[in-house]
A and B are shown apart, each in its own frame.
Chain A
Amino acid sequence: MVKPEKLIENGIRLDGRKPDELRPIKIKVGVLNRADGSCYFEFGANKVIAAVYGPREVHPRHMQKSTSAVVRYKYNMASFSVEDRKRPGPDRRSIEVSKVSREALEPVIFQEYFPRSAIDIFVEVLQADAGTRTAGINAASLALADAGIPMKSLVSACAVGKVDDTLVLDLNKDEDNYGQADMPIAMTPDGKITLLQMDGHLSSDEFKEGLEMAKKGCLEIAQLQRAALLEKYSSQIVGEVNE
């Protein structure tokens, strides 16, 4: 795609959203039977699946910590997740995303409850459209809860950015490619920030305003996450009545 002339026209973005509007979200908890916890998450055109295993024995042994669990997070993009085939396997970008995502979740997990064990989180991106790390964090936090792992709270994540000199919530691919700034943020429902990255330029006023927008976005996502978790068990009841 060539750079569009304008990314925002009359206050409406290319995909028809208002500047402070999230993309449509679809969540399903407990999609994988072999995993201890799992979640499928759609964030606009992003499609990610998260699986959680553990707490379980640590392999290799030398990674284990004697007083707490180790959390391992593996973010991976499928080769077919983007238009030009992505070379499979870990690369610099996915190692970075794995690290920051792990650090976004670690503060809420009660790691000290499980000494000498590992909690493994795997996030697979099936389709990417800017904002996969935030989608991954959202999915992983639900998969952790689904696995019954004790946590202080869920974690929600979304991005803010600047396109055509306007702050916008939750950038899509074109806005990310041709915009001026992109700032993914993860936080707990009570407003503790666990991830904040920024690419591009924002003035300090824009930063503050953007942060507030992201907070609102994260709260909205938190509501959907809660509904999705509760849904897992209410849908079972419906199934039973029909049987």
Chain B
Amino acid sequence: MKMDKKLVIPGDFLSDDVKLADEGTYVEDGKVFSSVFGIVSINKQIRVVPLSGKYIPKRDDIVIGIVTEVSFSNWIVDIRSPYEGLLHISEFPRRIDNADMSKYLKAGDSIMALVSDVDESMKVELTLNDQRLRQIKDGRVIEVTPSKVPRLIGRNGSMIAMLKNETVCNIFIAQNGRVWLTGKDKNIDLAVRTIQKIEKESHISGLTERIVKFLKEEKGIPVKERVKKTAEEKSGGILDELLDK
């Protein structure tokens, strides 16, 4: 299979033009170098999209968070990042009393929230005050590598639109790499498998065609559940291979 996307490692030289430097790069002595292990993308600016890494909150991102703690006037929310999110009581769509906070959202509940502000010390403030936002009560939430979210959405949302159509699921992809799926159980299973495939192969070109083909094949197989090896099972395999050489 051909791979026309260029993989670079930290310290690789990218360009002589300092003005082109964007995310995933750094400038030294008037030259641009890659700062992460990832794929180069050039359009106007040079960026390197990392192949892995944690979600770093940005203002105006929509994230899916899980409430971890209810404190005085704040919900503390895990947003799959080194930094926890804070949802203040005033950012809840309705006026509620401090004492009633855990009646509305308790530890373990999932929410779709908007990052309303991030300061220098990485204090992350969330809000639920937006039409698009809500508590997640049904369906399933899965996790993908945050840097692969753009691939999963596709150009102008093409990938996600196709996925929704083909799997008859409602799918929402949050910037922190959590994906919320609702629909029939069987359809969700298919969507989850497809998303895992996209995540695994996002660095190989011709992704969309392969996914279309994959979906057709999957739907052609009647009822019988295809058992996919999980990553967990494979790990033993790699170590075994290493150890007995």
Q: Do A and B bind each other?
A: yes
With an 8 Å Cβ cutoff, the count of chain B residues facing the other chain is: 38
B232 adjacent to A154 (CB under 8 Å)? no
With A31-B238, A32-B235, A33-B232 given, is the CB distance from A148 to B54 under 8 Å? Answer: yes
In the complex formed, the residue of B with least CB distance to A32 is B235
A117 adjacent to B82 (CB under 8 Å)? yes
Q: Mark A202-234, 1 if CB is under 8 A from B, else 0.
A: 000000000000000000000000100110011
- Residues in B whose Cβ lies below 8 Å from that of A152: 10-11, 26, 28, 33, 35
- Residues in A whose Cβ lies below 8 Å from that of B235: 31-33
The segment out of B105-113, B178-186, B198-206 that lies at the interface is B198-206
B120 adjacent to A115 (CB under 8 Å)? yes
B11 adjacent to A188 (CB under 8 Å)? yes
A240 adjacent to B239 (CB under 8 Å)? no
Q: A234–B7 Cα gap in the complex (Å)?
A: 10
State the total of A-B contacts with C-beta under 8 angstroms: 106
Looking at chain B's contact residues, is the secondary structure mostly helix, strand, loop, or mixed?
loop
Within 8 A of A (CB), among B3-30: 3, 7, 9-11, 24, 26, 28
For residue A138, give the distance in angstroms from its CB to the closest CB of chain B. 14
Contact with B239, one of A31, A146, A153 (Cβ below 8 angstroms): A31
B10 adjacent to A234 (CB under 8 Å)? no
Q: Mark B83-111, 1 if CB is under 8 A from A, else 0.
A: 11000000000000000000000000000
- Residues in B whose Cβ lies below 8 Å from that of A145: 9-10, 36-37
The segment out of B45-53, B129-137, B168-176, B187-195 that lies at the interface is B45-53
Asked if B161 is at the interface of the complex by the 8 Å CB criterion, the answer is no
Q: A190–B204 Cα gap in the complex (Å)?
A: 30
B1 adjacent to A154 (CB under 8 Å)? no
- Residues in B whose Cβ lies below 8 Å from that of A117: 82-83, 122
A selection of 25 A-B contacts at a CB cut-off of 8 Å is: A28-B238, A31-B238, A36-B52, A37-B52, A66-B121, A108-B10, A115-B120, A116-B121, A145-B9, A146-B37, A147-B53, A148-B37, A148-B53, A150-B26, A151-B35, A152-B10, A152-B11, A152-B33, A153-B10, A229-B37, A230-B9, A233-B7, A240-B1, A240-B200, A240-B201
Binding site for A on B (CB under 8 A): 1, 3, 7, 9-11, 24, 26, 28, 33, 35-38, 50-54, 56, 82-84, 120-122, 147, 200-201, 203-204, 231-232, 234-235, 238-239, 242
Closest 8 CB pairs of A and B: A153-B11, A148-B53, A148-B52, A117-B82, A151-B10, A150-B35, A148-B50, A145-B37
Binding site for B on A (CB under 8 A): 28, 31-33, 36-37, 40, 54-57, 66, 108, 110, 113-118, 145-154, 188-190, 226, 229-230, 233-234, 236-237, 240-241
